[in-house]
Amino acid sequence: MTSGTASQVDWERLRAAALEAMGHAYAPYSKFPVGAAALVDDGRVVTGCNVENASYGLGLCAECGLVSALHAGGGGRLTAFTCVDGEGRLLMPCGRCRQLLYEHGGPELLVELPSGVKPMSEVLPDAFGPERL
């Protein structure tokens, strides 16, 4: 399966996976648990949750775990992504995470934001990616 259109994605399933991952977050400092889920081009769903640290600046966003799960599970390209907060509300990935996601999904990765589904080319315009090296 290659990256399709937003309507071909089961966003509800993806949000449910993100919500489940959020339940595993370790966020005792911010008290802001986050869960992320993405569809891989082979049909897998990979997830991640934020993992904070007593050395606050070392906290890992949910997207970091998701990217690690992508590769630990065999790699592939991300085609659709969503993330939710502790109340199940859709969340904008932070700037660093947009860059992390761009590496593994490119400009066509579909990203679900509170404002709707957008391609990564709009979520991170004029991106610096591997094709620029």
Please report how close the Cβ of residue 36 comes to ligand DUR at its closest, in angstroms.
7
Q: Is 63 designated active site?
A: yes
Give the residue, chosen from 51, 60, 94, 127, that forms a contact with Zn ion under the rule CB under 5 A: 94
Residues 71-110 that bind ligand DUR (CB under 6 A): 83, 91, 93-94, 97
Distances (CA, A) of 133 to 71, 92, 121, 125: 22, 27, 18, 17
Residue 106: alpha-carbon gap to chain centroid: 13
Q: Among the candidate windows 20-28, 39-47, 59-67, 109-117, which touches Zn ion by CB under 5 A?
A: 59-67
Collapsing DSSP to helix, strand or coil, 28 comes out as: coil
CA dihedral 106, 107, 111, 116 (to 10 degrees): 180
Residues 61-80 that bind Zn ion (CB under 5 A): 61
Binding of Zn ion at residue 6 (CB under 5 A)?
Answer: no
Which of 12, 52, 63, 112 is the catalytic position? Answer: 63
Q: Site size for ligand DUR, by CB under 6 A?
A: 15
Q: Among the candidate windows 15-23, 60-68, 106-114, 118-126, which touches ligand DUR by CB under 6 A?
A: 60-68
Taking alpha carbons only, the member of 73, 51, 59, 66 closest to residue 98 is: 66
Give the residue, chosen from 30, 42, 73, 128, that forms a contact with ligand DUR under the rule CB under 6 A: 30
**Buried residues in 57-66 as b, exposed as e (16+ CB within 10 A):** eebebbbbbb
Binding of ligand DUR at residue 66 (CB under 6 A)?
Answer: no
